[in-house]
Amino acid sequence: MLKIKVNDTEIEVEDGLTVLQACEQAGAEIPRFCYHEKLSIAGNCRMCLVEMEKSPKPIASCAMPVTNGMNIKTNTPLVEKARKGVMEFLLANHPLDCPVCDQGGECDLQDQSMFYGIDKSRYKENKRYVPEKYMGPLIKTQMTRCIHCTRCIRFAEEIAGIDELGAIGRGEEMQITTYLEKSMQSELSANVIDLCPVGALTSKPYVFEARPWELKKTETIDVMDAIGSNIRVDTYGWEVKRVLPRINEEINEEWISDKTRYSCDGLKKQRIDTPLIKENNIYKKIEWEKALNIVAEKIKNTLPEKIAGLTGDLTNMETLFIVKEFFEKTIKSKNLDCRAENTYVNTENRKNYIFNTPLNKIEESDLILLIGTNPRFEGTILNLRILKAYRKNKTKIYSFGDIGELTYPYEVIENKTDIIKKIIEEKHNLSEIIKNAKKPIIILGQSVLKIKSSKYIFNEFKRFLEKNNKINNDWQSLNIFSNNASTVGAYDLDLINPDNSENFTLKSIKNNEFDIIFLFGQDNLKFIKKNEFIIYVGSHGDKGAEFADLVLPGSAYTEQDGYFTNLEGKIQKAYKASYPPGEAKEDWKIVNELANLIKRKKLFNDKNELNESMINYLKSKKVKVSRNSEKNEFVSEEILVEDIDYYYSNVISRASTTMTQCRNEKLNLKKNGTEG
């Protein structure tokens, strides 16, 4: 601990802090542009000048380490004068276009010039003009406004891991650009918009849409992937205007992926806003009452065994729970599953299907083994943590099969299940490496859980790790990487066949054994339809609604309150920011009304009752009896990581124009090669 004085108050601070951080702890706010706590120190904006005793000149507090006995002053006339001088230089070339700048109202330069700016300019010279730079479909540039803080450059290099931004030229002519104005490659690229303290980098899809003070802000949870990033949804009336990250050090720090940020325009497009029925292959509008009556009639006239249901990727836990109750109590059918594919899951213990290593502890790891997963596209935020681990401890990273650029180097292992068998049987050099690692992380992706020997791989690998004391109370090394926001929640609520190994519902659907199939926001089902009556409950007209006979309009994640459990098993609540379009209803209400029609009794009286019984269900869940005696079948095969269409992975992003643009950009790049 070091003792320093800040504005004549003595405080003790930790070793290794900068003066700026120490001042912040002492409660003295210091203006800054280039300094950002998550990025390296640049010290080039000079806004954070403070006075230090025995120093003839003011010092840049962001770059000065604290030493014992320092006497810092942040409120003297000298400091004020110095900062005013810096501000005057910054404004010398900054255009006075705040009225037409999208950053207006949330601009650091604007705010700080209210304190340190001078009302009149002493410069008669022309201001510098910098041509606009192309950075892709997400980032709009107005480089004349740039104050050269280099936050964006440091972000691309240090956090996103793809070194693609740079400053060309020098002095007044310095310009921030990508190499030859190529679009940015990173899936985290739009975070530079938040980082930019001025309006040089602004959001292209949000351009001239709204002012920050006009928007209603709702703090909620993202559902684009299983990470559960904390976001803030800004709405103007019904419309979701934009999505911004919210700081949560345990999950997403303060970054979100481009898909999270820009899928929101998909909430306005392709929406189902009224119940539809298919007659002679044409969808016709019908009233809610009629639609629900048709469903009730159908259910009453069908045997329970002939009714099946699948829930989707973005379904919240309340809906999952009420669907479960609906199937168990109202229909009395067991054919309900959350998996549209034959994914292996062992629900005996919660630890068997969640990502056991907390996201913020990934960086402590010294060995990461990726089996059947591409973290860059499946969970961009998780990939960022792996990069952090690599940067911090030079973590060795292995992957089964070459999965392309991941922003960090990794060693490719042949993608054969035989290799896994060899590791488990300690015939491969990786077994020693795993044994010697202090904090290994083994990540099993969805691709490996879909192959024939998935059961063998999971259970035997777990046994191998347990034997070598790699799964204990301090460190859980085996992790399952879920891809969808609803997956872990659905497993928690047991929306799967009692027998874990196979998805019988799906098998029977594929064999056309059912008469009625419910799809609750499920769009990934692939089967050849025969005589089934398919009912789709969901928000977007996509693959699921396409082959449905009856479509009931539901709500998207921003239009209803709902819990989501992220891949590490953290339960978080998403709040209602907007309301469903047209005649669409909240998902749980649809199921509740349907139950009312069939049994003349609602499943739940209100949302609170539903929430309470869901929470009770989760709390009273018992650990199931393990059935280790079962044989784990091993098949020698290849582990192929599924090619993920990153920008088109769910209904909302498929409906989004921005995501389509991003996807086209990427496809073009693939066609023309990365070099220009």
| Binding-site ranges for other proteins (CB under 8 A) | 163-171, 173, 175, 178-180, 675
Closer to other proteins by Cβ: residue 249 or 675:
675
CB of 145 to other proteins, least distance (A): 18
CB of 153 to other proteins, least distance (A): 9
By the 10 Å C-beta count (0-12 exposed, 13-18 middle, 19+ buried), 119 is classed as exposed
CB of 674 to other proteins, least distance (A): 9
- For 267, residues 6+ apart whose C-beta sits below 8 A from its C-beta are 240, 556, 558, 559, 578, 652, 655
CB of 610 to other proteins, least distance (A): 52
CB of 86 to other proteins, least distance (A): 23
By the 10 Å C-beta count (0-12 exposed, 13-18 middle, 19+ buried), 670 is classed as exposed
Largest CA distance in the chain: 90
By the 10 Å C-beta count (0-12 exposed, 13-18 middle, 19+ buried), 585 is classed as buried
CB of 175 to other proteins, least distance (A): 7
Closer to other proteins by Cβ: residue 69 or 169:
169
Beta bridge partners of 551: 276, 536
By the 10 Å C-beta count (0-12 exposed, 13-18 middle, 19+ buried), 349 is classed as exposed
Closer to other proteins by Cβ: residue 179 or 238:
179
Phi/psi at 444 (nearest 5 deg)? Answer: -100, 120
| Distance from chain centroid for Cα 436 | 33
CA dihedral of 619, 219, 556, 579, whole degrees rounded to 10: 120
Compute the C-alpha angle 450/454/459, nearest 5°: 145
Closer to other proteins by Cβ: residue 178 or 558:
178
Return d(Cα 271, Cα 356) in angstroms, integer.
36
Return d(Cα 480, Cα 441) in angstroms, integer.
10
Closer to other proteins by Cβ: residue 92 or 174:
174
CB of 133 to other proteins, least distance (A): 12
Return d(Cα 74, Cα 71) in angstroms, integer.
10
- Tell me which residue of 455, 423, 444, 452 sits closest to 632, measured CA to CA: 455
Closer to other proteins by Cβ: residue 182 or 334:
182
Owner of token pair 């913020």: 360
CB of 165 to other proteins, least distance (A): 7
> SS3 of 410, please?
coil
The DSSP code for 330 is I
Closer to other proteins by Cβ: residue 44 or 218:
44
Closer to other proteins by Cβ: residue 376 or 439:
376
Neighbour order of strands in the sheet with 71-73: 9-13, 2-6, 71-73, 49-52, 59-60
Return d(Cα 225, Cα 488) in angstroms, integer.
11
CB of 169 to other proteins, least distance (A): 5
> SS3 of 504, please?
helix
Closer to other proteins by Cβ: residue 180 or 625:
180
Residue 216: count of CB within 10 angstroms of its CB: 12
Return d(Cα 355, Cα 141) in angstroms, integer.
38
CB of 375 to other proteins, least distance (A): 21
Closer to other proteins by Cβ: residue 56 or 676:
676
CB of 164 to other proteins, least distance (A): 6
CB of 172 to other proteins, least distance (A): 9
- Tell me which residue of 36, 25, 8 sits closest to 66, measured CA to CA: 25
Closer to other proteins by Cβ: residue 186 or 417:
186
CB of 108 to other proteins, least distance (A): 25
Closer to other proteins by Cβ: residue 148 or 462:
148
Closer to other proteins by Cβ: residue 99 or 673:
673
Compute the C-alpha angle 437/443/446, nearest 5°: 165
Q: Give yes or no for a contact between 278 and 549, defined as CB atoms under 8 angstroms apart.
A: yes
CB of 658 to other proteins, least distance (A): 25
Closer to other proteins by Cβ: residue 120 or 394:
394
